[in-house]
Amino acid sequence: MNEMNLTTNQMFKYDLAKKSVGFAYILGFIFGMLGVHCFYCKQTEHGLARLLLCVLSLVIPPLYFVCVVVFLADFFLTKGWVDEYNQKILATIVE
């Protein structure tokens, strides 16, 4: 189902519920090491892992490099997370 086949009411609900890719990237750029963008994209497990990794990297400094690698990998994953969430929202609205 795509956005073109929605009624006005369904489109309004979708616009209110969908996530923005641009905003997710802004959150990732500013708060990326803490995983805030993961929580925004409803990737709670990934966000908690990022937050835990960030906190542990304060105690165990070599983990900071792992944190940076995961941070860079998230820039490739974020758009897919937002698209996946938006497709789920679209499917629930259409039902």
Q: Show me where the domains of the chain are located.
A: 19-94
pTM: 0.83
| 10-52: pLDDT as tens digits | 888 888 889 999 999 999 999 988 999 999 999 999 999 999 9
pLDDT of residue 83: 95
pLDDT band at 95 (very low <50, low <70, confident <90, very high): confident
- Tell me what the mean pLDDT of segment 55-81 comes to: 91
pLDDT of residue 33: 86
Instruction: Measure the CA angle with vertex 76, ends 11 and 67; round to 5°.
Output: 125
Q: Which pairs count as long-range contacts for 36-45, CB under 8 Å and 24+ apart, including other chains? A: 37/74, 37/78, 38/74, 38/81, 41/78, 41/81, 41/82, 41/85, 42/81, 42/85, 43/81
pLDDT of residue 4: 65
CA distances from 58 to 28, 30, 43, 69 (A): 19, 18, 23, 16
Q: How far apart are CA 95 and CA 10, in angstroms?
A: 10
